[in-house]
Amino acid sequence: MLALMIFILALSFLDMMFISGVLVGITDSQMHALRNYLSADINIAPQQTPQLKQYIPNQAQLRAQIETLPGIIATARHYNMAGSLSFDKDKTGQFKIVSGAIIGIDPESEWKVLTLNQLLIRGSNLALGDTDQILLSSSLAGGYGAIARQGSDLGGVKVGDKIRITFANGSIRTYNVKGIYNDIMGIAETFITSNEAESILSVHDSASHILVKANIDRVPVAVYESKIVAMAPNLHIQNYNDLLGSFASFLKALNFIQLIVGAISVIVAAITIFVLIYVNAINKRRQIGILKAIGIKKSIIVNAYILQSFFYTVCGVFTGLFLVFGVLQPLLIAYPVPVVVGLMNLTLVYTPMPVILGIISFLVAGFFAGRIPSNLVARQDILKAIWG
Amino acid sequence: MIHVTDLVKTYPGKVPTPALKGVSFDINDGEIVAIMGRSGSGKSTLLHQLSLIDTPTSGSVLIDGTDVLRLSDHDKTTYRLNDLGYVFQEYALIIELTALENVYLPAMSKGTAAKIYKKRASELLDLVGLGDRITHYPVELSGGEQQRVAIARSLINAPKILFADEPTANLDMTSARIVLELFQKLNRELKQTVIMVTHEPDDMRYVNRVIWLKDGLIEKIETVNQQA
C-alpha cells in the first residue's frame, strides 16, 4: 500500500515534470532555431525616423565597432531584395516562376551568425567570391521533403541548374544553383553574395540589416542591445524577443498549458495524499480516540499525520525526480524522438527554479493534504472515535 | 479527594436518553472504588464523566478542589495527561509500538526527558510483572499481559487517580486475578486511588467501597473492605 501510494505520487510528479519539460524543450528548441536560422540575437535596421532610410551606411565600420563589445560573438550583414525566380526544367521555354526574398550575404561572417550552412542538403555553400551562384531553399526548389509551398515551388531544381532572377529594380540575371538547403523554418529565401547584391543595387559598404550574435547565456540580450543603441542611436535596433511576432503568442500559450498541467498535477497529488491520509486516519480512528483519552494532545496526533504525509510526498518527489533525471531525460538523449524532423526532437529541458517550485508545490500540497483529514478525524469526540 | 455533585448526563437525540440523573458522592484519596450495576445502569457513563473523556450535561466534579469540568478542552487534555490514568476494557495499546514504547508514550508527550521516562517505563513494566517483555509488541503478548502493559502506561505520569473500565472483562480468571491484585498492590504501595467499573461480584473482594448504580441513580454505596 505504502509503495503503491508513493508510486502514484511519483507518477503525479513525473506527469507535471514531463509535460513542463517537454513544453520548455519545445520553446527552447524553437527559440534556438529562431535565433540560429532567422533573427540572430540582435537585428539592426536602417534609420526609420525622422526620415526612412533604405540602407545602413558604413556597415563595415559599424560592425567592427560592435564586435569590440565584450560578449559579442560575430556580426553579419544582409541585403534584402525581392525578385521572381524562373526555371525551365525541361528546356521547353515553359518557365515556372515563383517570387521570393533574395538575400545578399557575406558567407564567412554569415555562417558565424546564422547557421543555415549547416542545413545544406545538396551541393555546397556560397563562397566570398561567388557572383553567379545562388543558394536555394528546398521549399523553392521543390522536393527534398521540404515544407510544401502548395505549387509555389520551381518544380524540382537540382544543383547545377540555371535559375533566372528578375529583381525588383528590373535587373535580370541568371545563376547556377550551387547548393540547396533544407528549409526547415519555411523561410523560402534565396541567397547570393553581398558583392553580387551590391552590383545589382549599385550600393557599396551598406546593409539592409546587420545581424548580431552575442553570448546571452550570462548577459541578457537587452544589455547588448542598449550598448549598440548607444553606438548607433539613429538606427532601428531590436532583439530576438521583439521579432517573435505571432510566435510570442504561441510561447504564451505553451506557458499557459504548462501552468495548467502543473496545477492539475499538484491537485491530483494533493487529492491522492488527502485520500491516503484520510483513509489511514479513519482506519486508526479508534487509536486516535485512545491517544486522546490518555492525554495525547490533538496537535501531536495531527503533526504525526502531517509527518507521515510529508514522508509520502518526499518519497514520491524523489522517486519522480529519479524517473525524470535518471531515466527519461537520459533515455530521450540516447534515443531522440523527432517532433519536427531536422528541427526539433522531444527533449526534456529544465531550469532550476521551476523544478524547485514544483517540489515546493508538492510539499505544500502534502502538508495540507495531511493536515486536513487528520484534523477532521482528530477533532472527533473521544468516545465516538473509540466506539464508532 | 473527589467530590461529585448532582452529575447529570443526557445523550441528545430525537428522544434524549438520560444516562445519569443526578449522582453525588465523594471518594477519598487512596481508595479503591468499584462502580457496579446492571447493564445500562450508567456505570461506564459515570466513569467517562469522571475521567474527562466525556462532558456531562450538568453537575460538578471537584478533584482536589479543582472543578475539572470547567477546564477548557486543552486544559482537560493536559489534566488527563498529567493527573489521570485510564485503563480500557480492550487493552487499547498501539500495535506498532513495543510494550516499553506504549508505556512511555504519555510521558514522551508530556515532555519528560527520554532518559527519565524510559527508566520509569521499565520500572513500571517490572512492577506489573513484565520486565522481561519490554521489547515485545502487543500481538506477542497475551490479553492479561496487554492489560498489564495498559496499566503500566496509565501510571507513567504518576496520576492522582487511575480509572479502569471493566479491566478484567476480556480476561480469563487467572489474568483477571493478576490484574486486580495489581490494583491492590498499587493502592497499597503507591497509595494509588483507583476507580473501576466492573460487573463481576467477585471483584468486590479487591475494593474498599462499591457505588451501586441503577437507572442512572445511586442505589447504594457499600463499604466492603476497609483495607482491601
Mean pLDDT value across residues B104-114: 90
Nearest-CA neighbor of B158 among B189, B192, B130? B192
pLDDT band for B164, please (50, 70, 90 cuts).
Answer: very high
Measured CA to CA, the distance from residue A369 to residue A8 in angstroms comes to 15
| A378 CB within 8 Å of a chain B CB | no
Which strands sit side by side in the sheet containing B32-37, from one edge to the other?
Answer: B84-87, B161-165, B193-197, B32-37, B209-214, B217-223
Does residue B126 carry a pLDDT above 60?
Answer: yes
Query: CA B34, CA B210: separation in Å to the nearest integer?
Result: 5
Q: How far apart, in whole angstroms, are the C-alpha atoms of residue B106 and residue A301?
A: 12
Q: What pLDDT is stored for residue A382 in this prediction?
A: 86
The residues on B that touch A, with CB distances below 8 Å, are: 48, 51, 53-54, 74, 77-82, 84-86, 88, 92, 94, 105-106, 109-110, 153-154, 157
Parallel, antiparallel, or unpaired for β B209-214 and B217-223? antiparallel
Q: Give pLDDT, residue A277.
A: 77
Please report, for residues A7, A9, A305, A312, the alpha-carbon distance to residue A1 in angstroms, rounded to integers and kept in the order given: 10, 12, 16, 11
Residue B214: what pLDDT?
Answer: 95
- Give CA separation, A167 vs A43, A129, A146, A164, A181, in Å: 24, 21, 25, 10, 22
* Positions of chain A with pLDDT under 70: 145-151, 245-246, 340-343, 388
Residue in chain B lying closest to A288 (CA): B94
Residues of A in contact with B51 (CB under 8 A): 293
Answer yes or no: do B105 and A287 touch at CB < 8 A: no
Which of A287, A295, A381 is the closest to B81 by Cβ? A295
Torsions phi, psi of A131, nearest 5? -120, -25
CB contact under 8 A, A294 and B81: yes
Q: Is the pLDDT of residue B27 over 90?
A: yes
SS3 letters across A147-164: CCCCCCCCCCCCCCCEEE
Q: Does residue B54 carry a pLDDT above 80?
A: yes
> Taking CB atoms and an 8 Å limit, are A295 and B94 in contact across chains?
no
Q: List the one residue out of A184, A33, A164 whose CA is nearest residue A98.
A: A164
Taking every pair of Cα atoms in chain A, the longest distance, rounded to a whole number of angstroms, is 103
* Residue of A286, A294, A383 with shortest CB distance to B106: A294
Residues of A in contact with B82 (CB under 8 A): 295
Angstrom CA distances, A249 to A27, A254, A262, A351, B225, stand at 12, 9, 20, 21, 91
- For the cut 80, the answer to whether the pLDDT of residue B226 exceeds it is no
Quote the CA–CA distance of A268 and A101 in Å, as a whole number. Answer: 51
- The mean pLDDT of B134-154, rounded to a whole number, is 92
B contact test, residue of A292, A294, A308, A379 with most B CBs within 10 A: A294
Predicted local confidence at residue B56, as pLDDT: 95
A69 grid coordinates: 563589445
Instruction: Please list the residues that pair with B17 across neighbouring strands.
Output: B11
Distance CA B34, CA B183 (A): 12
Q: What is the pLDDT of residue A144?
A: 73
Measured N-to-C along each axis, helices A352-378 and A285-293 cross at an angle, to the nearest 10 degrees, of 70
Distance from CA of B93 to the nearest CA of A (A): 8
Q: What is the pLDDT of residues B96-108, one digit of tens each?
A: 899 999 999 999 9
Q: Do A290 and B92 touch (CB under 8 A)?
A: yes
Query: What CA–CA distance (Å, rounded) separates A265 from A256?
Result: 14
Give residue-wise pLDDT tens across range A244-257: 766 777 777 888 88
CA quadruple A334, A335, A340, A345: dihedral positive or negative? Answer: negative
Q: Please report the DSSP string for A57-112 in residue order.
A: SSHHHHHHHHTTSTTEEEEEEEEEEEEEEEE-TTSSS--EEEEEEEEEE-HHHHHH
CA B102, CA B222: separation in Å to the nearest integer?
A: 36
Domain boundaries, chain A: 2-31+248-387, 47-234
Beta carbons of B87 and B151 less than 8 angstroms apart: yes
Nearest to B145 by CA among B102, B114, B108, B116: B102
Specify which residues A239 forms β-bridges with. A42
Cα–Cα distance for residue pair B90/B196, rounded to 1 Å:
14
**Which residue shows C-alpha cell 555546397?**
A124
Q: How far apart are CA B100 and CA B106, in angstroms?
A: 11
A383: chain B residues, CB-CB within 8 Å: 48, 53-54
